[in-house]
Amino acid sequence: AEHQHARYNPLRDDWVLVSAHRVKRPWQGQLEKPPPEDVPRWDPNNPLCPGATRANGEVNPQYEGTFVFPNDFPALQPDAPEPGDSDHPLFQAAAARGVCKVMCFHPWSDLTLPLMSLAEIRAVIDTWAELAAELGASYPWVQIFENKGAMMGCSNPHPHCQVWASSFLPNEAHLEDRTQRQHLTQHGVPMLLEYAEQEARRKERLVVENTDWLVVVPYWATWPYQTLLLPRRHVCRLQDLCKGERDSLASIMQRLLIKYDNLFEVSFPYSMGWHGAPMGPYLEEDCRHWQLHAHYYPPLLRSATVRKFMVGYEMLAQAQRDLTPEQAAERLRSLPEVHYKRRAK
């Protein structure tokens, strides 16, 4: 807790430097602008709102729940041509095809997931699972991810996420496939199933838990308040969750995200995403080494205006963090589960 040391991340096969004493250093660096508190519930100029016109001229329906549509500026397209042959091994290119969708969580722009009802969060989870199954029938990788807050590159305050399906396994998926496969071969149990059982027993990095799920600040966390959301049973893909597990997932997501917002009493920025077993041609293969999980990567370190920067040593050497995962978990764990905006004045 007081001295620097390195921790191994078996999921990524790399190391993080933990330097807990550095959080005490005075800060004279950049201060971030807190997120706006006056987001209008409906804005005809917001392209994600019901009834609004998007950049391509399409008019959104007057949706009342979740709403999914093709990304108007997709990073992947299904009909991209093959790149030309390489004339040297240092200059390689490969085909990259896919589809990109945007998914609105709710018709109101002034809501975020922690302020939505359990039924509304459950509807988000069901739509995630439907998209994973639909796109996964054709594509090997379906990446569901949410960038929340301008600090994480989100250009629109409306509650939404993105879903990108690709014809290839991206780097992180390829890496996690390898490490989880190796762990199952060597130890006879899926890595993250064993890890969840260990963390549930040790409890020192536990943030919230229920019958089906637990959230921990992982032992190898890189970001200050990074968390890992894990099921207690062995499940490979999001669409494999039963009704009860989807209900309890809605509950634990709400509890976690309320704690995040309560930490600095601000709409907490983060990037999050689901990782599960590959699909497409992999549906016919043995993927028992995979365990479904979600990563949450929030940037805030000391306050709503001081963030963690991944620069210098992190970019040129290895990841480094300024407080221990145990300290971060204890702080999150101790926070109330009533949102600060809804407490009695």
Amino acid letter, 334: S
Angle formed by the axes of helices 171-187 and 191-202, nearest 10°: 80
User: Active site residue: 106, 160, 183, 289, which one?
Assistant: 160
Task: Report the candidate in 179, 146, 124 with the shortest Cα–Cα distance to residue 270.
Answer: 146
As annotated, the binding site for Fe cation includes 176, 275, 293, 295
Q: Coil, strand or helix: which one is 143?
A: strand
Q: Which is it for strands 98-104 and 67-70: parallel, antiparallel or unpaired?
A: antiparallel
Answer whether 235's CB lies under 8 Å from 292's CB: yes
Q: How far is 200 from 290, CA to CA, in rounded Å?
A: 19
Sign of CA dihedral 164, 165, 168, 174: positive
Helix (H) or strand (E) holding 68: strand 67-70
Distances (CA, A) of 112 to 49, 66, 81, 179, 339: 14, 13, 39, 34, 12
> Would you call 234 a catalytic residue per the annotation?
no
Residue 236: CB atoms within 10 A of its CB come to 18
Query: How many C-beta neighbours within 10 Å does residue 279 have?
Result: 22
Q: List, as one string, the DSSP characters of 217-248.
A: --TT--STT-EEEEESS---SGGG--HHHHHH
CA 272 to chain centre: 1
Strands 67-70 and 206-209: unpaired
Annotated binding site: 22-25, 55, 71-72, 147, 153-155, 162, 176, 275, 293, 295, 308-309, 313-314, 320
| Binding site per annotation, positions for UDP-alpha-D-glucose | 22-25, 55, 71-72, 147, 153-155, 162, 308-309, 313-314, 320
CB 285 within 8 A of CB 236: no
Q: Which residues are catalytic?
A: 160
